[in-house]
Structure 1
Amino acid sequence: MMADWSATGADPDRAMAKALASFEAESRKLEELGKHWEEASTTVRAKDHSLEVTVDGRGELVDLVFNGAKYRKLAPAQLARMIIETLQAARTQAMAKMSDLMGASGIPGLDMNGLVSGKLKPEEMLNALVGPMLDTLEGFGVESPLPRPADRDRKEQGGG
């Protein structure tokens, strides 16, 4: 688990082994997530059973089925609201399945729920993944071969 890079003391081999083990564990989670995205689906029926929606493992709509003729008696705005509510319920369930699959991250600062929902910015993920390792390298007196995302952003904005 990558929860504390400094816990390995001043032993770079031990720190690297711990980092690689954590990286492999997170990689396995991401492989499982990819498989889930490809294979999973969630179906939710509207409260009045007039329709049902199915979303894929990412929460994207893949099917909309109207049951019987009940939906024909609904006002257009009411039908639209029912479709949206049912789709939102299906997406919420799909996101919950992904969150359960991913569990808590062993990487400090990496929001797995943000990752699966698409709300985590790529640079935040990169910083959470490599930031602690770069800190540890610098602690051993090794200059980082990689610019930190925050440093790169400041340079691009003309800040130094």
Structure 2
Amino acid sequence: MPTDHHAQVEELLASYRRDRERLASVHRALATVRESATSEDGAVTATVGPGGALVDLTFTDDAYRRHRPDALARLVVRLVASAAASAAERSERTVAELLPVDADPGAVLAGTGDLRPEELGRDEPGPAGPASAPTGRHRADGHDLDETDNTDRTWLQSSHGGRPA
């Protein structure tokens, strides 16, 4: 008794079209990813888009008074990294909708599929090194200088406590 392959082909094509539309929907969602991170004092906000690319950076009018230039630069880098991590998590959740339960959405987004780090020539996944390394910079009193330095002086004030002109 012959089978009707026409119906099977039609079902396969319909399934392909549904999967293709789901994939297009995920791509549209990924293209709209935007995540922001704001400093604790509200002076700086970094916003990233798809892939963690910086798309906006805002400073309050007094941000440069609240933070020394080097501390402000480190703060911006930290905020961009934080926003990028949030964007990556959101992207992974979006891609996970299309994947089998045991698939790694991060690997798919990285374009590595299910390849292990050693297959890619890496010792470990992701960027190497600690998230924040010491700067080696110190204040005049010998303490480490970082963005959490909450002294009463701004970077515009002299080391003798003078006010900016």
**TM-score normalised to structure 2 length:** 0.51
Tell me if the contact between 2:43 and 2:60 (Cα under 8 Å) persists in the aligned partners. yes
Quote the residue 2:50 is aligned against.
57
Tell me if the contact between 2:99 and 2:105 (Cα under 8 Å) persists in the aligned partners. no
Larger radius of gyration: 2
Q: Indicate the SS of the match to 2:74.
A: helix
The Cα shift of 1:42 comes to 1.6
Alignment of structure 1 residues 63-102 onto 2, 5 Å: 63-102=56-95
**TM-score normalised to structure 1 length:** 0.52
The Cα shift of 1:72 comes to 3.3
Structure with the bigger percentage of helix: 1
Instruction: Tell me whether 42-51 or 23-32 shows the greater mean CA deviation.
Output: 23-32
The Cα shift of 1:90 comes to 0.6
Quote the residue 1:130 is aligned against.
none
The Cα shift of 1:25 comes to 6.7
- CA RMSD in angstroms comes to 3.5
The Cα shift of 1:99 comes to 1.2
Tell me if the contact between 2:48 and 2:84 (Cα under 8 Å) persists in the aligned partners. yes
Q: Indicate the SS of the match to 2:52.
A: coil
Q: Indicate the SS of the match to 2:35.
A: strand
Identify unmatched segments of 5+ residues in structure 2.
1-7, 116-165
Instruction: Tell me whether 78-87 or 35-44 shows the greater mean CA deviation.
Output: 35-44
Quote the residue 1:114 is aligned against.
107
Identify unmatched segments of 5+ residues in structure 1.
1-13, 128-160
Tell me if the contact between 2:23 and 2:98 (Cα under 8 Å) persists in the aligned partners. no
Q: Indicate the SS of the match to 1:58.
A: helix
Q: 1:34 to 1:48 in 2, by over 3 A?
A: same
Is residue 50 of structure 2 the alignment partner of residue 48 of structure 1? no
Q: Indicate the SS of the match to 1:47.
A: coil
